[in-house]
Amino acid sequence: MTPTRPCRRAERSLLKRPLRWRSRARKSRRNARPRCSTRRVASCTRFSPRTRPVPTGPIRLTFSPDAIDSNPRNIRALRARYRRITRFASLALAQSWWFELVLPQLGLRKLAARGRIRRIQKLARRFHVLAADLGGLMIKVGQFLSSRLDVLPVEITRELEGLQDEVAPEPFASIVAQMENELGLPLERSFEWFDESPIAAASLGQAHRARLSPGIAAEVGFTDVVVKVLRPGIEEIVQVDLVALRRVGLWLSRVKLVSRRADAPALVEEFATTSLEEIDYINEASNVERFARIFVDDPRIATPDVVWERSARRVLTLSDVTAIKINDVPALLAAGIDPNAVAAELARATFQQIFVAGYFHADPHPGNIFVTPGTPGTDVDFTLTYIDFGMMGEISTELRDGLQQFIFAVVGRDARAWVL
């Protein structure tokens, strides 16, 4: 049985409010008005150290289909994107249902198993092509799936590895327009120098090296910075992808083979929360400063400094802290740093984040942690420098206590305490 369309009542409760793209497109054609050409100055999203808001807790962002642009041309493209995602998911589910459930019940288990590896590889290859073509959250979905070796076959995870490396950078003209619109200043006035070639291009944004103007550099105490710029139009793409993923999650929740192993709708909701937080750079800047306050007295943990005068919701400027990647063992040895000491320090920092602070970096892959050699003549021979604070996590005191008791039980081989 192929996945069915959710009933209208279930869809309303899942999406909070249906999109109704078709009616919106028709209405916008009837009431078409020339769009204002005046460039918006984002004064409401630019902050100085004296006027920026002081974060008092985690920023809660919500999913809103109404955020999608009502431009008919955009709506047609977004509807096509939605159809491509849901069509791929429905065909993949139908294929799996046929070969994994129907054929075995008909006594054709050997026939179904004969081409399983080839089918899985073909399915993963098709998703690889789809994700690379669509970009947006599909890249992040591919990254997530490639890391789930505990759930997915190795044929799928291996095919999806390196998907992030295929993300093409945004044209520089689009990046400049995005920055000028957010900061309210021409690029040449915002920075003394700006590198057109990005140092990294991700599914949601990209990063460029730049130099601050002398006035701001004298105020903040450094010149070299890294500027993260959100891809233009990515908010609309994220909204559509989340609508499609919620539909797929609802389908999966009706498949007993899947629902017994995982709560697909809950996973989609968690993914939606983190994705919406990642496309708000003011939220990330607040995360940087909160993390820095936790380790303010720890000489071995460092973070970049936020340049609030050149930051907004879609633009984030940070001090350039580029150093040795934590997994670059030859470079560590060449700098006189013991990799074993680095591993021990990373473990200590991770445990302190989880069990002491209750606030941790949720994406600590090797590209997000640098090892900075220490200053000669000091007791600190290296520093762990964290970057990319778009994805953070919090642990309640009750959960922290439970985790500590569990670890003590494992170390003490107390099987009774594991259960309790």
Residue 220 tokens read as 């903040």
Query: What's the rounded Cα separation, in Å, for the pair 304 and 151?
Result: 36
Coil/strand/helix, residue 262: coil
Query: What's the rounded Cα separation, in Å, for the pair 86 and 244?
Result: 6
pLDDT of residue 18: 41
Q: Calculate the dihedral angle through the C-alpha atoms of 30, 36, 42, 44, rounding to the nearest 10 degrees.
A: -60
Residue identified by tokens 């990005």 is: 198
Planar angle of CA 141, 143, 147, nearest 5 degrees: 115
- Helix 264-278 to helix 281-294 angle (10° resolution) is 90
List the one residue out of 357, 66, 120 whose CA is nearest residue 240. 66
Domains in the chain, ordered, with CATH? Answer: 8-33+57-167+234-278 (no CATH), 171-231+281-321 (3.30.200), 323-420 (no CATH)
Where is 383: in which H helix or E strand?
A: strand 382-386
pLDDT of residue 167: 84
Query: What's the rounded Cα separation, in Å, for the pair 215 and 310?
Result: 12
DSSP annotation of 306 reads B
Residue among 363, 379, 388, 414 flagged as catalytic: 363
DSSP annotation of 391 reads S
Coil/strand/helix, residue 373: strand
401 is catalytic: no
Residue 259 tokens read as 């629902």
- Count Cβ atoms below 10 Å from residue 329 Cβ, excluding itself: 13
Global pTM value: 0.76
How do the pLDDT tens digits run along the chain, 420 residues long?
Answer: 444 444 444 444 434 444 444 444 444 444 444 444 333 333 333 334 334 443 333 333 344 444 455 555 678 888 899 999 999 999 998 888 888 778 788 888 788 788 888 888 898 899 999 998 998 899 988 888 887 776 677 888 888 887 777 788 999 999 999 999 999 999 999 999 999 999 999 889 999 999 999 999 999 999 999 999 999 999 999 999 999 999 999 998 888 777 787 788 998 998 899 899 999 999 999 999 999 999 999 999 999 999 999 999 999 999 999 999 999 999 999 999 999 999 999 999 999 999 999 999 998 888 899 999 988 777 889 999 999 999 999 998 888 888 888 888 887 777 666 665
pLDDT of residue 420: 55
B/e letters for 292-307, b = 16+ CB within 10 Å, e = fewer, are bebbeeeebbbbbbbb
Contact 162, 131 (CB under 8 A): no
Contact 417, 403 (CB under 8 A): no
